[in-house]
Structure 1
Amino acid sequence: MRAIPLCLLSGLLALPVHASEVQDLLGRLAEAERQQSFQGTFIYERNGSFSSHAVWHKVEDGGQVRERLLQLDGPAQEVLKVDGQTQCVSGALVDQVSEGQTWPARHLDADQLSNWYDIRVVGQSRIADRSAVVLVLAPKDQHRYGFELHLDRETGLPLKSLLLNERGQLLERFQFTQLDVMTPEAEALQPSSRCRPVRIRPVDNLAEGSWRSDWLPPGFTLNMAQLRHEPSSDASVAYLMYGDGLARFSVFLEPLNGRVVEDARSQLGPTVAVSRRMSTEAGDVMVTVVGEIPLGTAERIALSMRAGASETGAPEQASQ
């Protein structure tokens, strides 16, 4: 079992907490992004590099969420999202924008997550001049990373989020430096002229049983299966997304159609990408696993992908 080293929790006093209190904290976190308007600035650290950003987040009448992000240092980079869907981007983000949530706020279930993480309230902190509760989710196996979340007492928003590897080393940091929970003005949510509209790739539901994994880390299940059609070619790429209720990874399966490509593996901060060539009856396919999971886990997942349905109807699960 992995645990967050005590040195990372220095200055934090462990607090007695009941499961219902943890569920309440996680519930408030999941609701905050959908119910709370705010604006502010935050820093983002990955792989030893820092960047600072401004954010405007507005929950409109009817529940639609409109959000604009602007990088404040280096090349001008901007993202506008509506209900989590990217509308436009600028700068290098044109090629880097993902479909993930900006904030670590999802439908989090304490009972489910407790199967794979030790969840503890470890103390209190003050971030951006706001009082916060510190919640640690320490993984019970080697197939996922640990989280340290500093949740705003007033709103439930994540004021600070740390992603930590099995040695307690920092992989990624998100931290507010200033937060105002007033509703942003409409003008602040208008993109600049540099923000280029994003072309939405057409997708279809992937036929059930088209692809399977013979091995998955415990707790990870298939959340989405799509067939994406590339507008610049006739290629269709199968896209599978798996999650354990907190961590997620994606698998892309692209027909090579005679192209020669090499297997590859890379890691930038917490994000890994593993690609390997796989032979099927229909021809060779490039399997690529991308996500914030350990490299060894991503490699094993890539090796486990198969065409067609499982004989047993369910993938093998790793032992904890």
Structure 2
Amino acid sequence: MRATILLFVLGGLLTGPVQAADAMSWVKRLAGVEQRQSFHGTFVYERNGVFSTHEIWHQVNGDGAVRERLLQLDGPRQEVVRAGGVTQCIAGGMSGQLGAGQLWPARQLNAADLSSWYDMRVVGESRIAGRDAVVVGLVPRDQYRYGFELHIDKETGLPLKSLLLNEKGQILERLQFTQLSVDAPGDDALKPSDSCQAVPEGKPSEASKVAWQSEWVPPGFTLSSTFMRRSSVSDDQVVSLDYGDGLARFSIFIEPLHGAKIDDARTQLGPTAVVSKRLNTEDGGMMVTVVGEIPSGTAERIAMSVRPRAQGAAGQ
């Protein structure tokens, strides 16, 4: 019933006839498109009722190397430059802002595996930024994740519009191109401005060496990366565990408290759930924080399942 209601709502958002094309084939085209297709464009981003406008330059070299520059066009100047998915510099605190990874969350998906967790259907056609698109609805098969509506460019497979939807079909997040060129941007366009400050790169860690693990994650979510990062408020190292199912993603952060009295917290920032739980340990406790565009109940259950890894246990 849940899937039927959301698909009905998806259809109600669209104009044009329902298409019989294979949704699986369109999702396969979407996977990895940012490593195949250069482009330059402008898009609007809506989150929690707030809109912002961005310009993006995305260059794919002949060897598959990806460079990207993102500039916010309204409000305070914010900028980020990335190479190979690694942030090179930021201006205005934009390190956590949108990039190719958010433009197409399905870039590392296996479409066949994804069908185990989402009901995928072509629900119509649309026209975005003057380009023809196929609209694919992805409705979660459980309560642990949100649904998506993706408007995929017929010519290139690029996502021209993406909606994140709750179980009632309400829009939690919108990203939509208003202008798009699929010509490769020049090197000059990818040069950072003088205000873009270099940032230190997080240190990747082998999963087998990380002393923490989550004993429960939603079906289909796997550990994609682990990092050791310096805390923003101390010299402590913070463990970061990143999970994804090919579409949805969340991160777990584990930071030592050294006896500090900090209460548990639960916050919903638009589509993003932030849940922090104190875990008592012999050395003064740890704060476990789960952040992701997942339902708050899912984040709460994940946070409560984080435990120290038994010595000698294999990486998860």
Q: TM-score, normalised by structure 1?
A: 0.89
Alpha-carbon separation, structure 2, partners of 1:81 and 1:271? 23
Deviation at 1:97, TM superposition (A): 4.7
Residues 205 and 227, structure 1, Cα contact 8 Å, conserved in 2: no
Deviation track 1:77-116 (CA, whole Å, cap 9, x = no partner) reads 111111111111111325x458981422412222111111
SS of 2:103 mapped into structure 1: coil
Shift of 1:5: 5.0
Name the residue aligned to 1:13: 17
Question: Is the 8 Å Cα contact of residues 222 and 240 (structure 1) preserved in structure 2?
Answer: yes
C-alpha change, 1:176 and 1:280, in structure 2 (3 Å) is same
Would the aligned equivalents of 1:201 and 1:230 in 2 still touch at CA under 8 Å?
no
In 1, Cα distance between the equivalents of 2:212 and 2:223?
Answer: 11
**Structure-to-structure mapping, 1:126-145, within 5 angstroms:** 126-145=127-146
> What do residues 210-264 of structure 1 show as CA deviations (whole Å, max 9, x unaligned)?
2232322122222223333459854222221122222111111111112221211
Question: Is contact 1:22-1:110 (8 Å) kept?
Answer: no
Q: How far apart, in 1, do the equivalents of 2:141 and 2:41 lie?
A: 35
Secondary structure of 1:101's counterpart equals helix
The 10-residue stretch of structure 1 (21-30 or 167-176) with the greater mean CA deviation from structure 2: 21-30
Please name the residue that 1:103 is paired with. Answer: 103
Distance (Å, rounded) in 1 between the aligned partners of 2:134 and 2:24: 13
Distance 1:209 1:192, change over 3 A: closer
Tell me what 1:318 maps to: none
Q: Which amino acid aligns with 1:146?
A: G
Within-5 A mapping of 1:60-71: 60-71=61-72
Partner amino acid, structure 1, of 2:67: R
Q: Name the aligned partner's letter for residue 306 of structure 1.
A: R
Percent identity for Structure 1 against Structure 2? 55
Distance in 2 separating the partners of 1:72 and 1:284 = 43
- What corresponds to 1:274 in structure 2? 275
Q: What is the alpha-carbon root mean square deviation over aligned residues? A: 2.5
> Structure 1 residues 245, 127: closer, same or farther in 2, change over 3 A?
same
Partner Cα separation in structure 2 for residue 194 and residue 304 of structure 1: 42
The 5 Å alignment of 1:81-230 reads 81-93=82-94, 96-97=96-97, 101-104=101-104, 105-208=106-209, 210-230=211-231
Say if 1:85 and 1:99, in contact at 8 Å, map to a contact too.
Answer: no
Q: Is residue 208–residue 313 contact of structure 2 (8 Å, CA) maintained in 1?
A: no
- 3-state DSSP of counterpart to 1:188: helix
Contact 2:275-2:303 within 8 A present in 1 as well? yes
State how far apart, in whole Å, the 2-side matches of 1:247 and 1:231 are.
26
Q: Specify every segment of 5 or more residues in structure 2 that has no aligned partner in the other structure, as ranges.
A: none
User: 1:219 & 1:297 partners in 2: Cα distance?
Assistant: 13
How far does the alpha carbon of each residue in 1:58-86 deviate from its partner, in whole angstroms, 9 at most, with x for none?
11232111111111111111111111111
CA 1:272/1:255 → structure 2, altered by over 3 Å: closer, same or farther? same
Task: Give the Cα–Cα distance (whole angstroms) in 2 for the partners of residues 270 and 308 of structure 1.
Answer: 30
CA gap 1:15/1:40 in 2 versus in 1, 3 angstroms: same
What code does the residue aligned with 1:91 have?
A: G
Q: 1:187: how far off? A: 1.5
Q: How many Å apart are 1:35 and its aligned residue?
A: 1.1
Q: Does the CA contact (< 8 Å) of 1:138 and 1:147 recur in 2?
A: yes
- In structure 2, the CA distance between the partners of 1:97 and 1:200, relative to structure 1 (3 Å rule), is farther
**Are the equivalent residues in 1 in contact too, given 2:258–2:283 (CA < 8 A)?**
no
Residue range with higher mean Cα deviation, 234-243 or 221-230: 221-230
When residues 100 and 235 of structure 1 are mapped into structure 2, their CA distance, relative to the original with a 3 A threshold, is farther
Q: CA deviation at 1:45?
A: 0.4
Q: Does 1:261 align with 2:257?
A: no
What is the CA-CA distance between 1:12 and the residue it aligns to? 4.5
Asked whether the equivalents of residues 23 and 109 of structure 1 are also in contact (C-alpha less than 8 Å), the reply is no
Aligned to 2:36: 35
Alpha-carbon contact 1:277-1:286 (below 8 Å) kept: yes
Secondary structure, counterpart of 1:151 in structure 2: strand
- SS for the counterpart of 1:193 is coil
Which secondary structure does the structure 2 equivalent of 1:148 belong to? strand
Residue correspondences, number:
311
Name the residue aligned to 1:248. 249
Give, in whole Å, the separation in 2 of the partners of 1:133 and 1:143.
Answer: 26
